[in-house]
A and B are shown apart, each in its own frame.
Chain A
């Protein structure tokens, strides 16, 4: 019995000491973006990240006929959406991105060190805590592959050639499109609500986050009589509200997030599943 107790104390003690050592020596107590990780911590994180990315992207298949290619269209798409943080040959990122930590990867370096599958994986899914967002709700799959093809073509392009492509891009410059779907599916909504940052203002069952009270909790939004206190709550009105809040109430603090009809329909379906509008049906029955 005493031997067991001793072994228990020694093992928990060593684990605690190792944890404290990693916290202190690894400088994990320092959350400032003006202080880099120590080199060994950076190396360990990069090793773990690359292993996970290799595993993640092993399930991705290149589309038929994929080839690295730079065109005026995909160069403009890259410049307007990606180069703001990553920069491009001969062109700087925007000012705010220079002091990001980790610093966004240079696209030529990406192409030299990563497979197209891995680049597509980063574009589509993003990377947690790195500042890289997921683009899968901002671009179609085809557009994400177009951007991947551009990145893979960059090492063979001079800065002058890249900029000449931009100069010949169609005007107005092509805008990425949100992917479309056919039927409203509440099961997609938690991911979509996260991808549209709904959780930064609303408490939403099914999503993790702060106890935030900037907008109302959406726990009972489906069964509330009025949307935003102004519009009778029906599935159609909920979609209208999510797509363009100021059209419903010009004074509303809820911003227009450029949500497509498909996405709004998924979100509304989720809210009505969370809190079915029983009361309304009873009210409206003859």
Chain B
């Protein structure tokens, strides 16, 4: 018996298939949110354990993408929340993550433009950054982002627009 085969009501979905399809997109989604490679690694592992636990109760494989992204996003937000709570200083997550970006490992500092762009993203609120990343990097439709985050489509459009303007402003002013 394949131990990783769990059956949903709609059709059989193999955990290994989900892992192969989503491990890299989810890693990059998580990495853009938590910045530090080691943190992204831990969050990714926790995400897949939760995916494994819940895969059997997934109603439709059509919802798989937004479902796995929702789990990953929740794990990211939980991680950032924990980091905020355990931080000794009063600096916010944006500043903390910018510090990690500036002195972390597994970051190519020669890519100046990309570095600046990531710094610009870290000036956004957590929500704005999440919406921007899902739309810009993961190329999700607003409906998919709505299914992932639970934020209404109208709010998402406004949030993405504001985030984009803020990033563009940072890029031209700095």
Are A and B a genuine interacting pair, yes or no?
no
